[in-house]
């Protein structure tokens, strides 16, 4: 899988620094969910207070049919 690199504007860089923006890569999110699955951990609820682009939420929903409750929030980027 190749990811495309997007150049950021100065205001985007400033906003990322101000809010401490870090997006968990989908590959890491998927690996974590696979590990939990192999350990026979099947969550019924998922709370993601800083979902950003939603990689962890997406990976979790793809891996676990057991999830029945989901709450995902993020700070809107103005």
The reported pLDDT for the residue numbered 1 is: 44
The reported pLDDT for the residue numbered 2 is: 47
Q: Please give the structure tokens belonging to residue 58.
A: 């997406």
Core vs surface per residue 8-18: b (16+ CB within 10 A) or e? eeeeeeeeeee
Q: pLDDT, tens digit, for every residue of 19-34? A: 666 778 899 999 999 9
Which residues lie closer than 8 Å to 44 by C-beta, 6 or more apart?
Answer: 66, 67, 68, 69
The answer to whether the predicted template modeling score (pTM) of the entire model surpasses 0.75 is no
Mean pLDDT of the residues in the chain: 84
């Amino acid at each position: 899988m190749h990811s495309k690199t997007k150049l950021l504007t100065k205001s985007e860089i400033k906003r990322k620094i101000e809010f401490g923006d870090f997006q968990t890569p989908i590959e890491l999110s998927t690996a974590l969910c696979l590990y939990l699955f192999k350990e026979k951990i099947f969550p019924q609820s998922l709370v993601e207070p800083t979902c950003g682009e939603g990689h962890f939420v997406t990976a979790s929903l793809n891996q676990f049919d057991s999830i029945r409750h989901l709450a995902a929030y993020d700070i809107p980027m103005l």
